Amino acid sequence: MGRIRTRTASPLPVRFPPKGVCVLESRHARGFAMPPTRHDYFKILLIFSGEGSLAGRGGASPLAAGDAAAVPPGCEHWLEDRRPLSLYALCFHGETFREGWPRFICESGKLWVFRRKNDELLALARRLLHEQLSGRRGSSAMVRGLAWQCLALLARLPIGRIRPARDAADPTGSRARAEEAGRALRHRFYEPLSIGDEAARAGLGRRRFTQLFREVHGRTWWEALNATRLEHAERLLRETSRSVAAVAFECGYGDLSGFYRAWGARHRTSPQVWRQRFTSGARKATSGDISRR
């Protein structure tokens, strides 16, 4: 793992050390050419000068200083320069870091670009570069820890700042952002969310966001949010002894009455009665299993 200071006319080879993370500095020469490429590791590109684009079979998305990009494993891609690009490539080997690869990016099979002012990610990369060269005690463990933080930070970036690279079927990325907004509900349903804030996070106007969300998911954003919260409430009532008030709080309802209204509309009974029915049904099933033995 090292920093390459000379300009290059073609992509640099990636050689992973035992710690499983390789960081390269790539400074493109004029006439830089990159053939269509696939690899079996996850890669983050951090652009610090020049202009160009990240291209794939679906199209190309522009890159400039301050931008970054994520390339999932197996995704064909290539870089095209307009003004020679200089960048860092952070490469994460599968055997060591596969569990940390951002799932929604890898499962999409698409290239992703996120725009400017990624200060926290750049700070982590800078510290990672320093640690890999320092030779201090614990530097190997520190490099691994910083690599995990880079992946976690990427996975948590607001959807308005990370978008799939331009796709011929969805050139603005609007539908893909509506798709991701639905997936994000599974991880953020307990927060005090509003449709206006979510539209802003997706980089869309409220009306356009509402329209696209319904087209993509087959229901409104509010319906999806409520369904996700109530599914979690069902799990808590089945598997824990938490009070109804605690369940409402953990599912993101601001007041108990709102939870009761939403629950009643879905189940036509109270949470307490639902829990009792489920518990008694589980007991009968267990008793039946025992009696047949």
Q: pTM score, two decimals? A: 0.60
Confidence check: pLDDT of 133 > 90: no
Alpha-helical (H) ranges within 115-243 are: 119-134, 139-156, 174-188, 195-201, 206-217, 221-239
Per DSSP, what are the bridge partners of residue 78? 55
Q: Which of 124-133, 171-180, 182-191 has the lowest mean pLDDT?
A: 171-180
pLDDT band at 239 (very low <50, low <70, confident <90, very high): very high
Provide the 8-state DSSP code for 12.
P
Per-residue model confidence (pLDDT) at position 237: 95
- Judged by DSSP in three states, 160 sits in helix
Q: What is the mean pLDDT of residues 89-102?
A: 89
Report which of residues 40 and 281 the model is more confident about: 40
Q: What is the mean pLDDT of residues 187-216?
A: 89
Q: Give the pairing of strands 68-71 and 78-92.
A: unpaired
pLDDT band at 279 (very low <50, low <70, confident <90, very high): confident
Element (H, E) at 78: strand 78-92
Among 111, 188, 122, CA closest to 156: 188
What percentage of the chain exceeds 70 in pLDDT? 87
- Judged by DSSP in three states, 175 sits in helix
Mean pLDDT score across all residues of the chain: 85
> What is the rounded distance in angstroms from the CA atom of residue 229 to the CA atom of residue 185?
9
Among 156, 153, 32, 8, CA closest to 92: 153
Per-residue model confidence (pLDDT) at position 289: 53
Report which of residues 89 and 159 the model is more confident about: 89
> What is the rounded distance in angstroms from the CA atom of residue 108 to the CA atom of residue 72?
9
Confidence check: pLDDT of 24 > 50: yes
Say how many C-beta atoms besides its own lie within 10 A of residue 9's C-beta: 11
Q: Tell me the range of 46-55, 259-268, 282-291 where mean pLDDT is highest.
A: 259-268
Provide the 8-state DSSP code for 159.
G
CB 89 within 8 Å of CB 118: no
Q: What is the mean pLDDT of residues 195-215?
A: 89
